[in-house]
């Protein structure tokens, strides 16, 4: 079957048009917007699959000068596989939003922005022109801001806006760097057409690399441009967190970074830029996971993991070795799956209980079994526990570091592995304090979320399992066409390993149950002549890692972290004194103003006479 | 005869309003809007002929410098369309807005005179006509700024009058010196005459060019000649503020300067650098000043100075792409900045205050104003797909391109200016997020709980301008091809590499 290239337009403009339609649907039409959103994203997902199966497609309109075309869309292995996943996430999030967002204000806008985001993201993946790419990329930033302003249930309007403000300033500022970087890249290569750019080298190319990298990591959320994500987590609806910082922004940022490394810059293992990326990656992994461990708010904890995982991607791509880059890209894909799964589980818990504070949750495993299992699978995936997908992509990143050559790179390896361990530790905390332990009395009667919310969770958890157990499948289908054939060393066969693990688990369970029959008995707690209520003696998970928090070395770092010393945004306040000085100079006196004019004239005259 | 319509219609309307308003109160509303609408429509009908390469000329009386000489080319048409679109929007907005002042007919008469003055400036084919246009517009403007006749209005107007007089002095002296040296004031003939008189080798011409830089600089309000603008633009009645910031400073300031430095003296490396430096200083200093403001219209006024800096920077590059970016930014800024002023005026109408500290959460109460302000703020911050994105992008790309094709030795400067422009853009974002945060987002103060959206006649121009911001952003190739390319063609022959 051959497709007409015009089909590429549908993936961009159908969601946008449907979004506009959502704006027009009156409130009294029940489920009108929701059905439009689900139907559209489903259609786009199906079309994206068709595009992925089809050979390369290119859609162009006429040139408008400087080699820029109004539309220049190109689907090839990389862009079409990303297109497929962005559309899948669009579908799952719209499905999830039906119940999750029900009854909130500004729903009309919510679906409009959601669909606009999807269309623009697809546009960014498909554009083969840097300017067009930049435009779509920027639209995603604007919709991110607008979606944030819709706000979560528990945040004040000021807090919501400030979170949006921060994300817009950081991403927008980085976009300015990206713009200049694109300009320099164009100057060097002489073309805006991405598929025609050859790898560049030299000083200006390095400057362009750094500038474009800033744009990419601000979107992906790696340090030092990460700080908008944790703030946004508390202020934005959780479905938005799952959709943008959780999945689409990661796909976009890492896509740009990989294109840069693979196609635009002479990037080799061990080059200074490679080292830079690896340092950014390693620092991001460790620092963000340390912050994640001590969070009380479920969404904030997840958001620091969103930052930390971006570190793995940057680290993997930064190695510059085929396996490392493949690992980075695979981890990007896996992360989008399990991270949106985790955010959505969080959303499901919030929907069921109305609570995000880990200290007030607990014992929900029985009441919300599907959410619990999905969350558990995603948590194990993100921690890199075999046989789930996160393990496999992290493994590839480790191997990439080893193959990158220099012997001192072991430090990155240690950072990455240590980060994994800490991730697991913090998810033990999350799982314990949400789903295990004692259930607080306020949460009696909590029920599992409806089917429209559990289906996305099931799909995402299933993907975690499938991409882990049959890891060859995504690697050969999605990654290898982009970076070339990938050989994973070591005798790790995911399928075999899974079988062995399952056998081990089964044996473990048998032993456990045999043991339970013999020894365990449950009795009321009886201390000092009083029967204690199990609820009152429960062990909350929120304080699991306070030891680390107050340990000598870390306490100072944590304190600075809370004072936002590591937050680039907080340095904005130093602009204010300058503005005050300038304001004072404008004293409102006419004589001052006229004298400025005269001085201006005199200086201009001296300069021009001097030059002439 | 066609160019004459742009002068006769507003003048005629002024006369009719003057005569009829004694018997019919609303004559001004009707005739002012009719006049501006017809001017806008006429200017649009000229797009086709200009694209085909026609020019329109009208001569009355003796040869230059005595008679009246008008021409319409690509550049003047671009300006005419911008001027008359915005004036139409403002006069539409005035119908309800100006109810708060007495003597509405007088307001319309002054407005018509100001429009006529601006039209004369862009039509004028010799320096005297240009100067006369500048003066008519300026005098009407002094009166309009003082229209509220309370002390802050009078103070702002007084300041502008003093500084405007300094500007007039400079311009008139400059023109006189040019006439003495070159022997003509016809703009077409001047280029050769100035070159024959020694160009920039002639100290008198250097002196007169400095006078033009200062004189038109005062009108265009770039730093350090800007100090009158924040007062004047924030106190004037809102529709007038919209015209002042949107087109007035561009027409009587920048347009004239472009004419002088491109079509008469011709761009030299020294002027290119001076223009770019002035632009860069204006960008950074004015955006920082804007950040410190708590009065919505003052904030917008400082932001206008900053945006003038962008235009100046683009013009200063002198390459066709730079000029394209600058002219594109000029028309874009005209649309979103007048929209922002109209929005600020609506907020003031509805709430009675411009103080950001007393406002908040108005998105719930004033949806049209809220959405249109958001669109304008996104445009001015340079977010895609709005129009401001493309013009800023073109200016940056032009700076990068100039590393290769610009004046030799300027490469580090081009990079520096690009960085300055980008830092300025980031700060612009901060300025407009501040505006959004304190007016439309956040929580609604108790006393504003009953605020209502402004009447539809005030909403209509805001909606139209917002639609233009989006439309131009999406259809930018069409705008560049049909409106901007002919205008760039007029200038780029005198620019770098022309």
Residue A52 CB neighbour total at 10 angstroms: 19
Please say whether the beta carbons of B409 and B394 come within 8 A: no
Percent of chain A with pLDDT over 70: 87
Give yes or no for a contact between B278 and B254, defined as CB atoms under 8 angstroms apart: no
> Beta-carbon neighbour count of residue B443 at 10 Å?
12
Q: Which of A492-496, A600-604, B16-20 has the lowest mean pLDDT?
A: A492-496
Between A399 and A406, whose confidence is greater? A399
Question: Residue B495 — very low, low, confident or very high, per pLDDT cuts 50/70/90?
Answer: confident
- Does B291 touch chain A if contact means CB atoms closer than 8 Å? yes
pLDDT the model gives residue A135: 93
Q: What is the pLDDT of residue B88?
A: 94
Mutation site for A-interface testing, chosen from B199, B212, B227 by largest number of A Cβ within 10 Å: B227
In this structure, what are the phi and psi dihedrals at residue A94, rounded to the nearest 5 degrees?
-65, -40
Could you tell me if B401 lies within 8 Å of chain A, comparing CB atoms? yes
Instruction: Report whether pLDDT(A537) > 70.
Output: no
Q: What's the pLDDT at A511? A: 66
| Total count of residues recorded for chain A | 612
Q: B400 to chain A nearest CA, in Å?
A: 6
CA of A80, closest CA in chain B: separation in Å?
Answer: 24
Q: Do B442 and A165 touch (CB under 8 A)?
A: no
B274 and A180 in contact by Cβ < 8 A? no
Instruction: Kindly write down the DSSP assignment for every residue of B325-390, as one continuous string.
Output: HHHHHHHHHHHHHHHHHHHHHHHHHHHS--BGGG---TTTT-HHHHHHHHHHHHHHHT-TTSHHHH
pLDDT at residue A280, as a whole number: 92
Average pLDDT of chain B? Answer: 90
A114, A241 in Cβ contact below 8 A?
A: no
Instruction: Give the CA diameter of chain B.
Output: 70
Given a contact cutoff of 8 angstroms between Cβ atoms, the answer to whether B164 and B142 are in contact is yes
Residues A414 and A510 in one domain: yes
What angle in degrees, to the nearest 10, is found between the helix axes of A389-403 and A298-319? 40
> Does a structural domain hold residue A504?
yes
pLDDT tens digits for range B16-74 = 999 998 888 888 899 999 999 999 999 999 999 999 988 888 888 777 667 788 889 89
Q: In chain A, what residues touch B384 (CB-CB under 8 Å)?
A: 134-136, 138-139, 142
Whether residue A309 sits in one domain with residue A410 = yes
pLDDT at B133 over 80: yes
Tell whether A600 and A550 lie within a shared domain: no
Q: Rounded to whole angstroms, what are the CA distances from A19 to A133, A321, B117? A: 21, 41, 45
Question: Of the candidates A183, A586, A601, which has its C-beta nearest B227's C-beta?
Answer: A586
What backbone phi and psi angles, to 5 degrees, belong to B60? -130, 130
> What are the tens digits of pLDDT across the range A386-397?
778 888 888 888
Lowest mean pLDDT among A527-541, B89-103, B333-347: A527-541
User: Is pLDDT of A548 > 80?
Assistant: no
Alpha-carbon gap: B446 to the closest alpha carbon of chain A (Å): 15
- From CA A377, how far away is CA B426, in angstroms rounded? 41
| Most A CBs within 10 Å, among B232, B261, B400, B414, to test the A interface | B400
- pLDDT higher than threshold 60 for residue A86: yes
Query: Binning pLDDT at 50, 70 and 90, where does residue A266 land?
Result: confident
CB A362 within 8 A of CB A437: yes
Cβ–Cβ gap B288/A169 under 8 Å = no
Domain count, chain A: 2
Q: Give the tens place of pLDDT for each residue, B369-393.
A: 999 999 999 999 999 889 999 999 9
Instruction: Output phi, psi for B68, to 5 deg.
Output: -105, 125
pLDDT at B34: 94
Residue A323's pLDDT is what?
87
The residue-averaged pLDDT of B265-273 equals: 87
**Distance separating the N- and C-terminal Cα atoms of chain B:** 32
Number of A to B CB contacts under 8 A, please give it: 157
User: Does A243 reside within a domain?
Assistant: no
Whether the per-residue pLDDT at A529 is higher than 60: the answer is yes
Residue A106: predicted pLDDT: 83
**Nearest CA to CA, how far is B349 from chain A (Å)?**
24
Query: A interface mutation test: which of B291, B323, B375 has the most A CBs within 10 A?
Result: B291
DSSP state of B332: H
Q: Is A133 in CB contact (< 8 Å) with chain B?
A: no
Task: Tell me if A303 is assigned to some domain.
Answer: yes
Among A299-303, B161-165, B394-398, whose mean pLDDT is lowest?
Answer: A299-303
Q: Which chain A residues touch B425 with a CB distance below 8 Å?
A: 176
Look at residues A534, A550, A566 and tell me which one is the last residue of a structural domain: A566
Of A309, A344, A366, A298, which is closest to residue A463 (Cα–Cα)?
A: A344
**A459 found inside a domain:** yes
Phi, psi (degrees; rounded to nearest 5) at A60:
-130, 145
- Judged by CB atoms closer than 8 Å, whether chains meet at A604 and B274 is answered as yes
Q: How far apart are CA A69 and CA B470, in angstroms?
A: 19
What percent of chain B shows pLDDT beyond 90? Answer: 59
How confident is the model at residue B498, as a pLDDT?
59
Average pLDDT, chain A: 84
Burial B103-114 (b: 16+ CB within 10 A, else e): ebbbbbbbbbbb
Please state which of the ranges A62-66, A582-586, B16-20 shows the lowest mean pLDDT. Answer: A62-66
pLDDT at position B277 is 93
From the list B383, B426, B441, which residue is nearest A142 (CB)? B383
Asked whether residue A314 falls in the same domain as residue A416, the answer is: yes
Rounded to the nearest 10 degrees, the angle between the axes of helix A494-519 and helix A451-469 is 120
Q: Which of B445, B462, B478 is nearest to B369 (CA)?
A: B462
Nearest to A395 by CA among A475, A288, A463: A475
Residues A484 and A601 placed together within one structural domain of the fold: no
B227 and chain A in contact, CB less than 8 A: yes
Distance CA B33, CA B90 (A): 9
- Are A390 and A498 in the same domain? yes
- Looking at the structure, tell me whether residues A441 and A590 fall in a common domain: no
Mean pLDDT of A234-263: 89
On whether any CB of chain A is under 8 Å from the CB of B411, the answer is: no
C-alpha B321/C-alpha B325 separation (Å) is 6
C-alpha span between B450 and B365 (Å, rounded): 8
DSSP structure string for B142-205 = HHHHGGG-SHHHHHHHHHHHHHHHHHHHHHHHHHHHHHHHHS--BHHHHHHHHHHTTGGGSHHH
Give A437's strand partners.
Answer: none
Give the structural domain span for A583.
573-611
Q: In the structure, what pLDDT confidence band is assigned to residue A521 with cuts at 50, 70 and 90?
A: low
The pLDDT tens digits of the residues spanning A550-574 come to 666 677 777 766 666 667 777 777 8
Are A257 and A220 in contact by the 8 Å Cβ rule? The answer is: yes
Burial of A554 (0-12, 13-18, 19+ CB in 10 A): middle
Q: Chain B within 8 Å of A605 (Cβ-Cβ)?
A: yes
Q: What is the distance in angstroms between the Cα of B18 and the nearest Cα belonging to chain A?
A: 35
Per-residue confidence band for A284, with pLDDT thresholds at 50, 70 and 90: very high
Confidence band, pLDDT 50/70/90 cuts, at residue A589: confident
Rounded CA-CA distance B353/B330 in Å is: 29
pLDDT at position B198 is 82
Same domain? For A556 and A596 the reply is no
Residue A103 placed within a domain: no
| Stronger pLDDT, B362 or A499, i.e. the higher one | B362
pLDDT of A517 strictly over 60: no
Write out the two tokens for A85. 């996943």
B385 touches chain A (CB under 8 A): yes
The proportion of chain B whose per-residue pLDDT surpasses 70, expressed as a percent, equals 99
Is residue A496 a part of any domain in this protein?
yes
Pick from A72-81, A259-268, B467-476 the range whose average pLDDT is largest: B467-476
Q: How far apart are CA B257 and CA B491, in angstroms?
A: 12
Give me B200's structure tokens.
Answer: 């920039």
Q: Give domain status of residue A338, yes or no.
A: yes
Confidence of residue B8 (pLDDT cuts 50, 70, 90): very high
Which pLDDT band holds residue A515 (cuts at 50, 70, 90)?
low
In A38-67, the residues whose Cβ lies within 8 Å of chain B are 64-66
Using CB atoms, which residue from B200, B224, B291 is nearest to A597?
A: B224
Confidence of residue B256 (pLDDT cuts 50, 70, 90): very high
Report how far residue B252's alpha carbon sits from residue B275's, in angstroms, rounded to the nearest whole number: 17
CA distance B434 to chain A (A): 9
| Mean local confidence (pLDDT), B336-361 | 91
Q: What is the mean pLDDT of residues B330-337?
A: 94
Residue A493 confidence (pLDDT):
60
pLDDT digits (tens, 9 = 90+) for B410-465: 989 999 999 999 999 999 999 999 999 889 888 888 888 888 888 999 999 999 99
> Which residues, 6 or more positions from A111, have their beta carbon under 8 angstroms from its beta carbon?
A19, A22, A33, A34, A36, A37, A94, A97
On whether residue A253 sits in a domain, the answer given is no
Mean pLDDT for A9-34 is: 88
How many angstroms separate the CA atoms of A563 and B110, rounded?
Answer: 56
Interatomic CA distance for residues A441 and A388, integer angstroms: 35
According to DSSP, residue B385 is labeled: T
Q: Report the C-alpha gap between A122 and A117 in whole angstroms.
A: 8
Mean of pLDDT values over A240-247: 87
Tell me, yes or no, whether A556 and A598 share the same domain: no
Say what the pLDDT of residue A236 is: 87
At A6 the three-state DSSP class reads coil
Q: Would you state the pLDDT for residue A488?
A: 66
Identify whether residues A467 and A586 lie together within a single domain.
Answer: no
Q: For residues B347-371, give the mean pLDDT.
A: 89
Residues 6+ apart with CB under 8 A from A386: A392, A468, A494, A497, A498, A501
Q: Which of residues 417-436 of B touch A (CB under 8 A)?
A: 418-419, 422-423, 425-427, 429-430, 433, 436
CA distance A293 to A547: 11
Give dist(CA A286, CA A379) in Å, integer: 17
What's the pLDDT score for residue A1?
A: 56
C-alpha torsion angle, residues A452, A457, A459, A463 (rounded to 10)? 170
**Phi, psi torsion values for B38, nearest 5 degrees:** -65, -35
* Top-confidence range, A66-70, A438-442, A486-490, A600-604: A600-604
Same domain membership, residue A500 and residue A421: yes
Write down the pLDDT at residue A612.
Answer: 56
Q: Is the pLDDT of residue A312 over 70?
A: yes
Q: Token match 């649009």: residue? A: B44
pLDDT-based confidence at residue A64 (cuts at 50, 70, 90) = confident
- Nearest beta carbon to residue A593 from set B228, B271, B433: B228
Q: Is residue A357 located within the same domain as residue A411? A: yes
**Contact by Cβ (8 Å): B393, B401:** no
């Amino acid at each position: 079957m051959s497709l007409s290239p015009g089909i590429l337009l549908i993936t961009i403009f159908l969601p946008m048009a449907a979004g506009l339609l959502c704006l027009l649907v009156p409130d009294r039409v029940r489920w009108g917007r929701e059905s439009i959103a689900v139907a559209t994203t489903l259609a786009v997902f199906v079309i994206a699959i068709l595009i992925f199966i089809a050979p390369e497609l290119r859609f162009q309109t006429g040139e408008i000068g400087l080699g820029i075309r109004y539309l220049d869309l190109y689907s090839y292995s990389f862009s079409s596989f990303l297109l497929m996943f962005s559309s899948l996430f669009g579908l799952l999030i719209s499905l999830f939003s039906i119940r999750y967002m029900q009854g909130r204000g500004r729903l009309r806008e919510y679906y409009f922005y959601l669909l606009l985001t999807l269309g623009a993201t697809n546009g960014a993946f498909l554009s083969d022109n840097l300017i067009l790419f930049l435009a779509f990329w920027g639209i995603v930033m604007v919709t991110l801001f607008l979606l944030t302003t819709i706000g979560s249930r528990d945040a004040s309007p000021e807090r919501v806006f400030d979170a949006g403000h921060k994300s817009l300033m950081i991403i927008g500022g980085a976009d300015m760097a990206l713009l200049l970087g694109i300009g320099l890249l164009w100057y060097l290569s002489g073309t805006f057409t991405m598929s025609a750019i050859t790898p560049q080298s030299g000083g200006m190319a390095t400057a362009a690399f750094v500038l474009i990298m800033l744009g990419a990591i601000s979107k992906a959320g790696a340090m030092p441009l990460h700080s908008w994500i944790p703030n946004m987590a508390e202020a934005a609806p959780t479905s938005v967190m799952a959709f943008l910082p959780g999945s689409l922004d990661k796909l976009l940022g890492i896509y740009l970074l990989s294109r840069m490394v693979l196609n635009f810059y002479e990037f080799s293992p061990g080059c200074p830029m490679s080292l830079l990326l690896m340092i950014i990656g390693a620092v991001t992994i460790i620092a963000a996971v340390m912050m994640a461990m001590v969070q009380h708010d479920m969404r904030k904890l997840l958001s620091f993991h969103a930052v930390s995982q971006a570190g793995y991607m940057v680290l993997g791509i930064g190695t510059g070795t085929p396996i490392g880059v493949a690992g980075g890209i695979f981890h990007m894909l896996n992360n989008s799956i399990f991270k949106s799964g985790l955010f959505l589980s969080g959303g499901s818990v919030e929907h069921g209980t109305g609570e995000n504070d880990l200290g007030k949750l607990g014992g929900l495993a029985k009441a919300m079994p599907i959410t619990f299992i999905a969350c558990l699978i995603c948590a194990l995936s993100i921690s890199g526990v075999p046989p789930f997908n996160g393990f496999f992509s992290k493994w590839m990143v480790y191997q990439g570091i080893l193959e990158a050559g220099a012997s001192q790179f072991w430090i990155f390896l240690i950072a990455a592995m240590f980060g994994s361990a800490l991730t697991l530790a913090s998810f033990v905390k999350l799982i314990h304090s949400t789903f295990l332990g004692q259930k607080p009395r306020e949460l009696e009667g909590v029920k599992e979320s409806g089917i429209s919310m559990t289906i996305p969770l099931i799909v995402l958890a299933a993907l975690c399992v499938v991409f882990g157990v049959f890891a060859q499948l995504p690697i050969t289908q999605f990654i290898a066409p982009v970076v070339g054939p990938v050989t994973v060393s070591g005798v790790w066969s995911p399928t075999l390993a899974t079988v062995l693990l399952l056998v081990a688990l089964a044996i473990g369970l048998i032993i456990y149950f045999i043991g339970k029959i013999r020894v365990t008995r449950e009795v009321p707690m009886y201390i000092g002549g009083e029967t204690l209520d199990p609820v009152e003696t429960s062990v909350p998970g929120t304080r699991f890692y306070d030891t680390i928090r107050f340990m000598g070395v870390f306490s100072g770092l944590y304190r600075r972290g809370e004072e936002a010393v590591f937050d680039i945004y907080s340095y904005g306040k130093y602009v204010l004194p300058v503005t005050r000085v300038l304001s004072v100079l404008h004293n409102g006196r006419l004589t001052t103003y006229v004298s400025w004019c005269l001085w201006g004239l005199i200086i201009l005259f001296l300069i021009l006479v001097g030059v002439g | 005869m066609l160019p004459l319509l742009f002068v006769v219609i507003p003048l005629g309307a002024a006369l009719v309003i003057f005569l009829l308003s004694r018997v019919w109160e609303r004559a001004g509303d009707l005739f002012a809007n009719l006049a501006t609408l017809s001017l806008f429509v006429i200017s649009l009908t000229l797009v086709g002929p200009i694209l085909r390469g026609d020019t329109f000329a009208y001569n009355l009386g003796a040869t230059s410098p005595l008679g009246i000489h008008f021409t319409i080319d690509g550049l003047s048409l671009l300006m005419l369309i911008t001027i008359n679109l915005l004036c139409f929007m403002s006069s539409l907005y005035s119908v309800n807005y100006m109810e708060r002042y007495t003597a509405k007919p007088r307001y319309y008469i002054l407005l018509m005179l100001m429009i006529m003055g601006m039209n004369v400036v862009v039509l004028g084919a010799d320096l005297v006509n240009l100067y006369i246009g500048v003066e008519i517009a300026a005098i009407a403007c002094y009166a309009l700024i003082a229209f509220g006749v309370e002390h802050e209005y009078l103070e702002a107007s007084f300041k502008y009058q003093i500084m405007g007089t300094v500007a007039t002095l400079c311009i008139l002296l400059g023109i006189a010196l040019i006439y003495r040296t070159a022997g003509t004031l016809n703009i077409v003939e001047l280029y050769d005459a100035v070159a024959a008189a020694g160009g920039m080798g002639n100290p008198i011409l250097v002196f007169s060019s400095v006078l033009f830089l200062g004189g038109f600089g005062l009108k265009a309000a770039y730093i350090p000649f800007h100090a009158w603008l924040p007062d004047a633009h924030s106190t004037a009645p809102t529709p007038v503020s919209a015209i002042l910031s949107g087109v007035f400073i561009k027409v009587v300031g920048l347009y004239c300067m472009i004419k002088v430095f491109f079509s008469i003296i011709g761009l030299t490396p020294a002027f290119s650098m001076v223009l770019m430096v002035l632009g860069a200083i204006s960008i950074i200093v004015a955006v920082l000043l804007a950040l410190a403001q708590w009065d919505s219209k003052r904030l917008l006024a400082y932001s206008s100075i900053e945006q003038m800096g962008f235009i100046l920077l683009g013009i200063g590059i002198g390459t066709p792409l730079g000029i394209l970016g600058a002219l594109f930014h000029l028309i874009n800024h005209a649309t979103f900045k007048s929209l922002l002023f109209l929005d600020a005026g609506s907020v003031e109408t509805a709430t009675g205050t411009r103080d950001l500290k007393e406002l908040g959460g108005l998105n719930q109460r004033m949806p049209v104003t809220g959405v249109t302000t958001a669109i304008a703020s996104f445009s001015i911050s340079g977010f895609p797909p709005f129009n401001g994105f493309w013009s800023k992008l073109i200016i940056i790309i032009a700076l990068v391109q100039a590393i290769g094709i610009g004046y030799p030795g300027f490469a580090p400067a081009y990079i520096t200016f690009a960085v300055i422009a980008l830092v300025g853009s980031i700060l612009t974002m901060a300025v407009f997020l501040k505006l959004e945060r304190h007016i439309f987002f956040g929580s609604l103060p108790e006393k504003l709980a009953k605020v209502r959206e402004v009447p539809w006649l005030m909403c209509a121009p805001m909606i139209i301008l917002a639609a233009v911001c989006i439309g131009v952003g999406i259809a930018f190739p069409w705008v560049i091809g049909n409106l901007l390319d002919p205008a760039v063609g007029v200038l780029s022959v005198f620019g770098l590499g022309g």
